[in-house]
Amino acid sequence: MILSTDQNPAQLGMKVLLVHGECNKDCVAGRLVRKLRDQLEEKDVAVVTADTARDGSLILASDPQIQALLLDWDMEDAVNHHPAMEVVKGLRARNANMPLFLFTNRESAAQIPLDILADTDDFIWLFEDTADFIAGRVLAALRRYRGHLLPPMFEALAKFSMTHEYSWHTPGHTGGTAFLKSTVGRAYFDFFGENLFRSDLSISVGELGSLLDHSGPIGEGEKFAAKVFGSDYTFCVTNGSSMSNRVIMMASVARGQIALCDRNAHKSIEHAITMSGAIPTYMLTTRNYYGIIGPIPPERMTKEAIARSVRENPLAKEATDPSPVHATVTNSTYDGLCYNVERVEELLGQSVDRLHFDEAWYGYARFNPIYEKRFAMHGDPKEHGPDKPTVFATQSTHKLLAALSQASMIHVREGRRPISAHRFNESYMMHASTSPNYAIIASNDVSAGMMAGPGGKILTDESIHEAVAFRRLLGRIHAEMGEKGEWFVNAWQPDTATLPDGTTVPFWQADEDYLATDPRCWVLRPGESWHGFGELEANYCMLDPIKVTVTTPGMDRKGELESWGIPASVLTAYLDADGIVVEKTQDFTILFLFSIGITKGKWGTLINSLLRFKEDYDANAPLEEVLPAVVEANGARYAGMGLKDLCTEMFAAMKELRTTQFLSEAFSLLPEAVMTPSRAYELLVRGEIERVGLEGCANRVLATGVVPYPPGIPLLMPGENAGPADGPVLGYLKALEAFDRKFPGFGHDNHGVEVVDGNYIVSVIKQ
């Protein structure tokens, strides 16, 4: 459908870029070019001009509103005989469909290379056709392009929101008019704008289809997403990957069936196990000296290892079938460790017919070759035959793509024992709202549209390059400080890079393009001390460059505390006071995510803040100046202290309490499973529980999970025994409890734990 300017659902004005060497000169060509510009502007087309190829390329790269390029093919400069060729290549690398018009003459046109001709939509014969005629052809091309610019669901939603229909259905604000009847409502309306409320519609609007039966434009949007993300079919989800994980588990596993579960799993997997009645058999991950979660070693995924795990699982005797039916693996991990998915399919595919990859933080992987074969929907879906497992992937499109919060997708590739779409949808409808937010659905649609074609690689390339540039600069500063005998934070990454010629250099000295494009730079090699996961199988696991873990001094690679250190939580608080919010903080690590929204200015500010932190630490700057909110909130506790004083006292407490040691030990074992999560939950609902402190928790069965957050990985699952009072699990919780009492304002967030007067309280099953 052709959209005129006032019909454009996204209200995106028409805009073209005109690049011509004569556009600002007083000559015949210059006057004709300016006349063409005037004709376009009379037709409500905004025109941006540039008189050099370099300026044109910069504008194309920086202005996403450009919808057509008018380019002088015959322009030259002192360096490049055909600079226009580079502009064309840059355009097509970013956008395969934008209309391209070349200013040229018939003699020059005959010499244009075939690849450029293939990328060109039309020619402009400036001295032969009238400006009005040329402008009309440009306008027609613009309308054709804009008619296919928006993904299907968003286009339908935006069009419908502009019909200004009188609504007699929910929601009750009826396009926002209800908010206009009160002062506070008007403030809310003005803050978000009319379009949000016009597009907040009811499921009663049949023109948009239904999220529950995947019809109409919503269904077309899901088909579009399936094509973009490489699945057989895709479901749009409006309640996050937590819902997505529950939908998959409850469609695949019934009560009494065994599910293999990555112990490094989000708590939504715990909820799915509880709701489905599945019997979990866990696959343990590794931990390194920092407490960073590593992969499940391949030897724990073999058919023999899985069979042994099932035999040793005390809950398996309750199973209706001893064979597991489903396996869940977190990919990538919170800290950016990505599996070789082909290898995981090969290993776990010997034990189960359905593989479920929780890729909540990894929705961008398909769009960059650096992640090849390291994500669930890898390769061509047509090559995923019935001899391979059926594969599910959940992706939080709101996390590292550009969707709104709560937006998620479920991708499915059918293989062995597929679940029919109709049957799968029964589970989907059980969890989905009958009143979904259409803006969230549309944001999924737009995220898919942004990643389609060359756009996905362009956006992910930029993220990777920004992350690599930050890593290199951080590594250089750390090295230069070290040469002077001074400290600085560092990045958790390989120590060295092996260049294509075989030479080895410090990692930060390697070329940015090389690090940003060659996955071999990021693979965890067996026995390398930097990663700390031991003798991992070669090529099994890779560190995602965009998930940057910044490390603070204090921990050596043997897992032992050094003579001094800087707790990461203090640096996190310092950055927060500077307006920088991090993703995750552990004892000596802080995670930063380089999403597609990252810019050099943004991470440049981070570098400056890290340098200021060092200066303020070395100067023992007063906490009243550098952490004013912490001091104000906690009275006399930190009065008169300096930044270095706080770090020194906190580091000493961590050494005494052994927080990092207990962390690694607690997450490196499987507690005794006494009952299924479902059974524990039933007792919780019946009130057959009691609330106890940690001392009273020894050798008791938990009624709810205990989940340190972030990243939301269960320490204890419902139905598991907490172990002895001096064991690693309770030892870790006691260490956190003592730390929180000693350092108010730096407390830990543990779901399943209530803090009452400084004491940790948990729910256990009555004896």
Using one digit for the tens of pLDDT, what is the confidence trace for 491-503? 999 999 999 999 9
Q: What mean pLDDT do residues 134-144 have?
A: 90
Res. 335: pLDDT tops 90 = yes
Mean pLDDT of 619-625: 97
CA distance readout (Å), 214 to 205, 259, 764: 14, 28, 42
Least confident of 167-181, 352-366, 724-738: 167-181
Cα–Cα distances (Å) from 533 to 261, 287, 294, 553, 693, in that order, read 20, 7, 7, 20, 34
Neighbours of 759 (CB within 10 A): 14
Using the predicted structure, report yes or no on whether residue 24 has a pLDDT greater than 90: no
Residue 153 in domain: no
- pLDDT value at residue 80: 63
Amino acid 529 reads: S
Backbone angles phi, psi at 636, to 5 degrees: -80, -5
* Cα–Cα dist 585/602, whole Å: 19
Give the pLDDT confidence score for residue 527 in this predicted structure: 94
The CATH number of the domain holding residue 689 is 3.90.100.10
Residue 160: inside a domain? no
Residues 124 and 271 in one domain: no
pLDDT, greater one: 44 or 611: 611
What distance lies between CA 617 and its chain's CA centroid?
33
Write down the number of H helices and E strands in the chain.
27, 25
Q: What is the pLDDT of residue 104?
A: 86
Query: Which tokens in the block code for residue 671?
Result: 């507690």
Which residue type is seen at 300? R
pLDDT computed for residue 106 by the predictor? 72
Q: Name the pLDDT band for 4 (thresholds 50, 70, 90).
A: very low
Is the predicted pLDDT of residue 715 greater than 80, yes or no?
Answer: yes
Residues 346 and 483 in one domain: no
For residue 96, what pLDDT is reported? 86
Query: Does any domain span residue 154?
Result: no
Q: Where residue 85 sits, what CATH number does that domain have?
A: 3.40.50.2300
327 and 403 assigned to the same domain: yes
pLDDT of residue 127: 85
* Positive/negative CA dihedral, 693, 697, 700, 706: positive
Give me the CATH number covering residue 384: 3.40.640.10
Whether 12 and 115 map to the same domain: the answer is: yes
Q: What is the pLDDT of residue 3?
A: 35
Over residues 156-204, the pLDDT tens digits come to: 887 777 665 556 667 888 888 888 899 998 998 899 988 888 888 777 6
Q: Say yes or no: 438 and 514 in one domain.
A: no
Q: Which residue has tokens 């997505």?
A: 244
Task: Specify whether the CB–CB gap between 238 and 437 falls below 8 A.
Answer: yes
Residues 684 and 619 both lie in one domain: no
Q: Output the pTM of the full model.
A: 0.89
Bridge partner list, 48: 17
Asked if residue 417 and residue 321 are part of one domain, the reply reads yes
Q: Which of 452, 480, 503 is the last residue of a domain?
A: 452
Task: State residue 172's pLDDT score.
Answer: 83
The residue range of the domain holding 355 is 207-452
Tokens in use for 323? 């064979």
Domain at 631, CATH number? 3.90.1150.10
The verdict on 334 and 371 lying in the same domain is yes
- Do 476 and 329 sit in the same domain of this protein? no
- Domain membership of residue 642 (yes or no) is yes
Q: pLDDT digits over 64-76, tens only?
A: 899 999 999 888 7
Note the pLDDT tens digit of each residue in 553-605: 999 999 999 999 999 999 999 999 999 999 999 999 999 999 988 777 788 89
pLDDT in the model for residue 195: 84
If asked whether residues 482 and 582 sit together in one domain, one would say yes
The pLDDT, as a whole number, for residue 396 is: 95
Final residue in a domain of this structure, among 452, 485, 511: 452
86 assigned to some structural domain: yes
SS (H, E, C) 260-300: EEECCCCHHHHHHHHHHCCEEEEECCCECCCCCECCCCHHH
Kindly state whether residues 515 and 470 are assigned to the same domain: yes
**pLDDT, averaged across the chain:** 91
Q: Does any domain span residue 665?
A: yes
Dump pLDDT digits (tens) for 406-462. 999 999 999 999 999 899 999 999 999 888 888 999 999 999 999 999 999 999 999
Same domain, 323 and 423: yes
- Taking phi over 0 as left and psi of -120 to 50 as alpha, with beta for the rest, 524 belongs to beta
Q: Would strands 69-72 and 15-19 be described as parallel, antiparallel, or unpaired? A: parallel
Residue that is last in its domain, among 385, 419, 452: 452
Section 642-663 average pLDDT: 94
pLDDT at 170: 76
335 in a structural domain: yes
Average pLDDT over residues 513-526: 97
The 10s digit of each residue's pLDDT in 283-316 is 999 989 998 999 999 999 999 999 999 999 999 9
Residue 45 has pLDDT above 80, yes or no: yes
Per-residue H/E/C for 695-713: HHHCCCEECCCEEEECCCC
Q: How many domains does the chain have?
A: 5
Q: Is residue 159 part of a domain?
A: no
